[in-house]
Amino acid sequence: MSAPRIQVWALDGIAEVVAGDDLAAIIGDALAADADGVIDGDILVVTSKIVSKAEGRQLAASDREDAITAETARVVAVRGTTRIVENRLGVVGAAAGVDASNTPEGTILLLPVDPDASARALCAALRERFGVRLGIVVSDTLGRAWRIGQTDIAIGAAGMRVVDDLRGGTDAQGRPLVVTVPVVADEIASAGDLVKGKATGRPVAVIRGLSRYVTDEVDTPGARTLPRTGEHDMFRLGTDEAIAMGRQVGYADGFAAGRASRD
Amino acid sequence: MSAPRIQVWALDGIAEVVAGDDLAAIIGDALAADADGVIDGDILVVTSKIVSKAEGRQLAASDREDAITAETARVVAVRGTTRIVENRLGVVGAAAGVDASNTPEGTILLLPVDPDASARALCAALRERFGVRLGIVVSDTLGRAWRIGQTDIAIGAAGMRVVDDLRGGTDAQGRPLVVTVPVVADEIASAGDLVKGKATGRPVAVIRGLSRYVTDEVDTPGARTLPRTGEHDMFRLGTDEAIAMGRQVGYADGFAAGRASRD
């Protein structure tokens, strides 16, 4: 296998996106104007912010706390004003993805309703326009447990594989690789963030050289398959919350036993 | 600010690394032979595996469980045979970074003793040889809470900034960016993984186009600054472990109260 070589750059010429905009047309025009053109196997990383804006997911900033509550499927941990929650998409993070940066003054943005569906719509329209197979990643910026700061991850995807499942493959010594499942959609979102930046007004990155992840079909298992939740989640509650829950149960059991011990 | 454009590729010609090898010489020779040469501001992503091998961090595979215990600073959560621990470097993950893939038959690999120091040594030697400012990331493959699969992160770094601290900067609307701290070293490690792959025998990636993160000095705050541990860690114990701990304390308190209630 020859070494892949990738190039990553951000598209110029995408102006402020507003509710009702045809995002596929806007991104398509920026692609058409790009000096490097579009080739089969290119992957576009699209900041979820502009998907949300086009889909009219904007609210008044004064509704922020209520919006976080509404977007929350389950509270995982709370400390001070920080709420770590599982959002509607199964993604665990602060503030349920409700965003107040890079939004018009006095407004907040909710995440797209269904980022995989948004990715599919973009993917189909852009494939149709350019006549090549493109992949789409819709990215969001997220904190992580046990690490400072943030990285970009995939919250939507279409037309591509989101993981490079090496189970069944072999390592360089020919032994089976049993555990490693690189989440390429997240790695691609991170690579895109390195050129998009947070403050540059360039919300779309092109990644060229990863056509091996791009599929013939548009409708692929998307980023919705990436969260690990429910019984498989060893960190389904924050430590303080779990201790408090255990203490309550233990206290009741202990109290009953204590009373009984005197009989 | 003009849009950065990055290129990412893996170096060819790095043979199996063994204990005592001069890794800077090996990587330097591969760089010297590379068609794209080396330019000021290039960043190399070096798989921790080859750093470990060169540093002789190899053990017999039969010692795996003991090795995990020895590399563990603190157990975070255990389920079945999976041990999530904080390792000596402050990094939380499965098996303390003890690795059994892509290692010689019958052996396991421990993480480098001090990956930031390893990065500094590589960085200094390669800067000296090529007469340009290079940055180094030492990468490892790691699972995440709440997400399936793995991505590559930085466990060592030198000659570059590991975060792009935008606090004090402004968003595209000119408002202060108060929260976002992109961990570029992790994003760079992820980008490198997209070309290195797990099974290709290409353990070093070159990233060109991010010279804004490369510093004049070699000795920079490294990847050791990236883990979030201790009191700031809302997930310092697994949920099951925390419930059990709370239950034990609650039971004792409840028992005493139950007894007292009969007095």
Write the pLDDT tens digit of every residue in B101-127.
777 788 999 999 999 999 999 999 999
Q: Are A198 and B101 a contacting pair at CB < 8 A?
A: no
The count of structural domains within chain B is: 3
Q: Let me know whether A249 and A223 are in one domain.
A: no
Q: Are B247 and A244 a contacting pair at CB < 8 A?
A: no
Q: Are B149 and A170 a contacting pair at CB < 8 A?
A: no
In Å, how far is B119's CA from the nearest CA of chain A? 20
Write the pLDDT tens digit of every residue in A172-229.
677 666 678 999 999 999 999 999 966 678 999 999 999 999 999 999 999 999 999 8
Report the 10 Å Cβ neighbour count for A257.
14
Domain range for A260: 236-263
Which secondary-structure segment (H or E) carries B50? helix B48-54
Judge whether A123 lies within some domain.
Answer: yes
Q: Let me know whether B52 and B18 are in one domain.
A: yes
Q: Let me know whether B70 and B120 are in one domain.
A: no
Residue B222 has pLDDT above 70, yes or no: yes
Provide the pLDDT confidence category of residue B1 given band limits of 50, 70 and 90. very low
Write the residue in A3, A244, A254 that is nearest to B253 by C-beta.
A254
Q: Let me know whether B12 and B130 are in one domain.
A: yes
**Chain A: residue nearest B93 by CA?**
A146
Q: Let me know whether A124 and A198 are in one domain.
A: yes
Which secondary-structure segment (H or E) carries A244? helix A239-261
Q: Let me know whether B169 and B212 are in one domain.
A: yes
Write the residue in A177, A228, A239 that is nearest to B236 by C-beta.
A239
Cα dist from B17 to A90, A106, A174, B14, B199, whole Å = 41, 57, 17, 8, 15
Residue A94: closest CA among A47, A61, A143, A49? A143
Q: How far apart are the first and last CA of chain B?
A: 76
Q: Let me know whether B89 and B126 are in one domain.
A: no
Residue A1 has pLDDT above 50, yes or no: no
B-chain residues within 8 Å CB-CB of A225? 148
Check residue B3 and give its pLDDT.
Answer: 61
**What ipTM does this complex have?**
0.94
Judge whether A2 lies within some domain.
Answer: no
CB B45 within 8 A of CB B188: yes
Token readout for A203 is 């919300």
**Chain B: residue nearest A169 by CA?**
B199
Residue B4 has pLDDT above 80, yes or no: no
In Å, how far is B198's CA from the nearest CA of chain A? 7
Q: Let me know whether B49 and B76 are in one domain.
A: no
Q: Let me know whether B24 and B66 are in one domain.
A: no
In Å, how far is A206's CA from the nearest CA of chain B? 10
Q: Are A251 and B257 a contacting pair at CB < 8 A?
A: yes
Which CATH number does the domain housing residue A26 bear? 3.30.1330.100
Within B77-236, where are the H helices? Answer: 115-130, 184-196
Judge whether A261 lies within some domain.
Answer: yes
Q: Which residue has the higher pLDDT, A61 or A148?
A: A148
Cα dist from B199 to A13, A147, B55, whole Å = 39, 27, 22
Provide the pLDDT confidence category of residue B199 given band limits of 50, 70 and 90. low
Q: SS3 of B248, please?
A: helix
Judge whether A184 lies within some domain.
Answer: yes
Q: Let me know whether A149 and A180 are in one domain.
A: yes
- Top residue of A50, A151, A231, A236 to mutate, by most chain B CBs within 10 Å, is A151
Q: Let me know whether A150 and A174 are in one domain.
A: yes
Check residue B116 and give its pLDDT.
Answer: 98
Number of A/B CB contacts below 8 angstroms equals: 355
Q: Let me know whether B157 and B199 are in one domain.
A: yes
Judge whether A105 lies within some domain.
Answer: no
The owner of tokens 């965003």 is A99
